Structure 1
Amino acid sequence: MTTRSAARPGLTLAAVAVVQFMVSLDLSVVNVGLPEIAAGLGFGAVGLTWVIHAYALTFGGLLLLGGKASDRYGRKRVLLLGLVLFGLASFLGGFAQEPGQLVAARAAQGIGAAALAPAALALLAETFPAGKARVRAFGVWSATNAAGGALGVLIGGLLTEYAGWRWVMFVNVPMAAFALAVAWRAVPAGPPPTRSGRPDVLGGVLATAGMTLLVFGVVRTEQYSWTSPVTLTTLAVAAALLAAFVQVERTTDREPLVRLGLFANRSVTGANAFSLLTGAAMASAFYFMSLYLQRVLETGPALTGLMFLPFALGVVAGSVFAVKLGYRLAPRTLLILGGLVTAAGFAWFSLISSDGAFATDVLGPSIVASVGIGLCLGPLVSAATTGVAPHETGTASGLLNSSRQIGASLGLAALGTAAHHRTGQTATPETLNNGYALGLTLSAALLIAAALIALTIPRRTNTPSPAEDRDLLPAHD
């Protein structure tokens, strides 16, 4: 019997693709516009970083809770609520008149994204459970995911230069409205979600507080060093909260936020470790290349955004290759191949020079690295959700998104600090170039480590048996 969740898979895929594009776009769309935002609202140098961090903080800190909510209360309901919150926050943020209003809007966007991302990904895994359709669906998802991040720089640059910085917020409104309309019509409510017990409120509080403090401690290293008492205390408290969360999950008689047995699945564990390292490498590489183009090569925001276009196209091309190869190769093989190709691209990036040019220092490595990333993304999601029971796909999706977001925050802080130390006190084009080159070299090293971790992922993973599914879920109509 056909499940209701698969009734209109094409439109479901369209809604999920728009959602993922929008969430990824917001991780980078404001970056190029930061100088204009600072001038328009009167941000100080330290306060301006919170335009980025407010989104990362709430997004990364609430992802596990968002994943569990989609499992417990239903994918469609959480998806629609997240879309409404994300669109409303974007609309209000565009009208911000002072720094605090924009930071609050960005935080609200992060809360919406924490609900959207795992619900959309779980919906995709549920709608396309196996076969060629699953490979194609995750290929589309991976293309829109990475294209959103890459095109965010281009779109942010064009909007900032020609329409004003407020449009980097307004641009989300029509996308959220479109996704809301499609999801409302195309995504069925599905069977009632299974609620096997009382929710683990204490575990939810501990996980959310611990992850939020972890992200907070990392992003604050721009202001406080890694060895400062403020940073060490924050990270120690975060570690204590997360350790308490693990203990609660082991002993609770309530419905756990994350069933620890999920980590016994080598595919889930390996995919999340891979995601952590690739998230750190990609966020850092985007950051360094954007600064290299603007501060060393002295290109304007619109042109800088345009120079990221080959990167976005390369990701799409890599995703197409991943679909074709995915019919014959296991996700593990594609992760290893994609990780090594991306590492080669980042290593090539590290050869940048202070008197370089886009054609000689940026274009070639952009194409290589982006194709490698495109090869990775779809298989990564497939590996992280294959073999997971349907009632836990939201949790698994939240874990994957969380590991990537935490990786991005940790990587950017750690590699940014290393690049800053290499730059030294004198910020000339030559010293800046040296710092960015080091950061890109370290990004390549992270990708090599990720490829090695992919070796731990099984070649094939087993999905739960039909008998197990019947025990876990009510019958589909």
Structure 2
Amino acid sequence: MARLLTGLSLGYFLVMLDTTIVTVALPSLSPSLPDQQWISNGYTLTFAAFLLTAGAWSDRFGGRRVFFTGLLSFAALSLLSAFSASPPMLIALRALLGIAGALLVPSSLSLIAAAYPVPAARAKAMGVWAAVSGTGLVAGPLLGGLLTQSFGWRAIFVVNVPVALVALALSTAAPSTPPKPGRWDATGQLSAVVALSTLTYALVEGVWWVLPVFLVAAAVFVRSQRHPEAMLPSRLFRSHGFAGGLLAGAIVNFGLSGVLFVLSLYFQEARGYSPSSTGLAFLPLTIPTAFNPIFTGRLVARIGPRVPAVAGFALMASGTFLQAFSANVLVSVFALALLGFGVSLAIPSLLTAVVGSAPSELAGIAGGALNASRQTGAVLGVAVLGALLSATSSAATLTVAGALLLLGAFTVSGTT
């Protein structure tokens, strides 16, 4: 069982690693801020948009088949990305890579749910899963900086291939979950992609005439989800904790991804750090995620997700405010450590709350919905804070992020 859990966790590790590993390499990939935002968001946008469909596919075709398909596709597309010849080509490949990543998340969650039917054991398993994958999220800047400095930016994509193959080998004992008949929600999927793409385009490029297209696409998506076989069944929202968990998930990734984007550029452009030095500067954020999610999983199993989730948001907000108001290196180290502890408290707690609020037969969709909301938040975090950064200072931009994370603490206190 430990072997399987390691394999499933490594699959999600890859997905999370790729959301942030490009962050430190962005100045090497393009001097243009919009290009940098699209290289970062090209992946997270399609990842967010296809997570719900991936959750439905996981339930429909079986988690094992979807997980293996995602791993092999992720490895192949990563190798192609390493040989990209231009920013537009890399953006396109990153978008395809996001779809492959979307296949891995809900399928791994549904396989964990099948392998650990006892709720307490499942909470601990999710703590391990979150510890390994969460390390990928925050280790991305460190690993990306070291690889870019030592071998060039292409290495940040090549490194995915051996990890994917190891994850595949460890996951061969995954249980075969029975497939469920159903239809593909093409209307919901298309409208979700259009809504996210147009909103991101408006925020990144400042082209506001596309906002009516976003509003129409969002309305079509909401209306399409009334169908009994929609990719996000409306009956899930009968649980107060499910809806609140989705909102909190969007806020946590808005703050984390947006802050990482802003600080990576600030460290290199304002402080003159090299890519490897920038990666090392994020080490205080990375270390807590290596062990704290395991503690969080045990804590959630004992007292429930509410208190750890609120504490996580409060720590993230505190760290972001400190980083905004002080340029002192020691204060920065402390602030990033608070952010790391906060992330590793909040995310496992939200996972347990959202998946636990859904019927067992919809575990894949619930997991996909939470991660879709998180990655939507990540897309908006980079787009919104990137736009603010181009118009104001990094301190003001971080203050906005901290205020939203503080709002997240109040959100989870009333919903989890």
TM-based fold match above 0.5: yes
2:195 matched residue in structure 1: 214
Give the CA deviation at 1:215. 2.7
Give the CA deviation at 1:263. 0.6
Does residue 170 of structure 2 align to residue 193 of structure 1? no
Q: 1:249 to 1:374 in 2, by over 3 A?
A: closer
Match for residue 419 of structure 1 among 389, 395, 399: 389
2:358 matched residue in structure 1: 388
Matches of 1:64 and 1:370, distance apart in 2 = 27
Matches of 1:347 and 1:223, distance apart in 2 = 24
1:3 matched residue in structure 2: none
Deviates more, 1:53-62 or 1:394-403: 53-62
What residue ranges of structure 1 are gaps of 5+ in the alignment? Answer: 1-8, 423-434, 459-477
Does residue 2 of structure 2 align to residue 32 of structure 1? no
Aligned residue identity for 1:146: G
Matches of 2:71 and 2:208, distance apart in 1 = 34
Q: 1:257 to 1:14 in 2, by over 3 A?
A: same
Give the CA deviation at 1:414. 2.1
Does residue 407 of structure 2 align to residue 452 of structure 1? no
Q: 1:456 to 1:232 in 2, by over 3 A?
A: farther
Deviates more, 1:155-164 or 1:313-322: 313-322
Give the CA deviation at 1:283. 1.0
Q: Indicate conservation of the 8 Å contact 1:218/1:409, yes or no.
A: no
Matches of 1:232 and 1:123, distance apart in 2 = 43
Does residue 74 of structure 2 align to residue 86 of structure 1? yes
Matches of 2:73 and 2:13, distance apart in 1 = 16
Does residue 162 of structure 2 align to residue 174 of structure 1? yes
1:468 matched residue in structure 2: none
Q: Which structure carries more helix by proportion? A: 2
Q: Indicate conservation of the 8 Å contact 2:111/2:175, yes or no.
A: no
What residue ranges of structure 2 are gaps of 5+ in the alignment? Answer: none
Matches of 1:118 and 1:455, distance apart in 2 = 26
Matches of 2:377 and 2:218, distance apart in 1 = 16
Give the CA deviation at 1:262. 0.4
Q: Secondary structure at the match of 2:225?
A: helix
Give the CA deviation at 1:318. 2.9
Matches of 1:309 and 1:303, distance apart in 2 = 10
Give the CA deviation at 1:289. 1.7
Q: Indicate conservation of the 8 Å contact 1:311/1:367, yes or no.
A: yes
Q: How does 1:82-121 map to 2 (within 5 A)?
A: 82-121=70-109
Give the CA deviation at 1:48. 4.9
Give the CA deviation at 1:456. 2.8
Q: How does 1:275-314 map to 2 (within 5 A)?
A: 275-314=249-288
Q: 1:107 to 1:418 in 2, by over 3 A?
A: closer
Give the CA deviation at 1:47. 4.2
Give the CA deviation at 1:378. 1.1
Q: Indicate conservation of the 8 Å contact 2:123/2:301, yes or no.
A: yes
Q: Indicate conservation of the 8 Å contact 1:351/1:361, yes or no.
A: no
Match for residue 410 of structure 1 among 376, 380, 383: 380
Q: Secondary structure at the match of 2:232?
A: coil
Matches of 2:87 and 2:142, distance apart in 1 = 24
Q: 1:33 to 1:392 in 2, by over 3 A?
A: same
Q: Secondary structure at the match of 2:267?
A: helix
Q: What CA deviation, in whole Å up to 9, does each residue of 1:426-472 have, x standing for no partner?
A: xxxxxxxxx111222222211221111112335xxxxxxxxxxxxxx
Count how many residue pairs are aligned between Structure 1 and Structure 2: 416
Match for residue 123 of structure 1 among 87, 111, 123: 111
2:208 matched residue in structure 1: 231
Aligned residue identity for 2:396: L
Aligned residue identity for 1:385: V
Q: What CA deviation, in whole Å up to 9, does each residue of 1:215-254 have, x standing for no partner?
A: 32343246532xxxx4342x3223322322332332x4x6
Cα RMSD, aligned residues only: 2.0
Give the CA deviation at 1:344. 1.4
Q: 1:194 to 1:324 in 2, by over 3 A?
A: closer
Give the CA deviation at 1:352. 2.6
Q: 1:333 to 1:61 in 2, by over 3 A?
A: same
Aligned residue identity for 2:414: T
Q: What CA deviation, in whole Å up to 9, does each residue of 1:169-196 have, x standing for no partner?
A: 101000111111222x220213x2222x
Using the size of structure 1 for normalisation, the TM-score is: 0.82
Q: Indicate conservation of the 8 Å contact 1:318/1:374, yes or no.
A: yes
Aligned residue identity for 1:276: A
Matches of 2:64 and 2:294, distance apart in 1 = 28
1:10 matched residue in structure 2: 2
Q: Secondary structure at the match of 2:325?
A: coil
Q: Indicate conservation of the 8 Å contact 1:346/1:444, yes or no.
A: yes
Give the CA deviation at 1:167. 0.8
Aligned residue identity for 2:220: A
Does residue 216 of structure 2 align to residue 240 of structure 1? yes
- Fraction of identical pairs, as percent: 31
Give the CA deviation at 1:151. 1.0
Deviates more, 1:131-140 or 1:286-295: 131-140
Q: 1:47 to 1:278 in 2, by over 3 A?
A: closer
Q: 1:103 to 1:414 in 2, by over 3 A?
A: closer
Aligned residue identity for 1:161: Q
Q: Indicate conservation of the 8 Å contact 1:207/1:241, yes or no.
A: no
Give the CA deviation at 1:17. 1.0
Deviates more, 1:406-415 or 1:74-83: 406-415
Q: Indicate conservation of the 8 Å contact 2:10/2:133, yes or no.
A: no
Q: What CA deviation, in whole Å up to 9, does each residue of 1:268-306 have, x standing for no partner?
A: 111111101111111111112212211121111001101
Aligned residue identity for 1:188: P
1:57 matched residue in structure 2: 45
Q: Indicate conservation of the 8 Å contact 1:79/1:119, yes or no.
A: yes
Does residue 353 of structure 2 align to residue 376 of structure 1? no
Larger Rg: 1
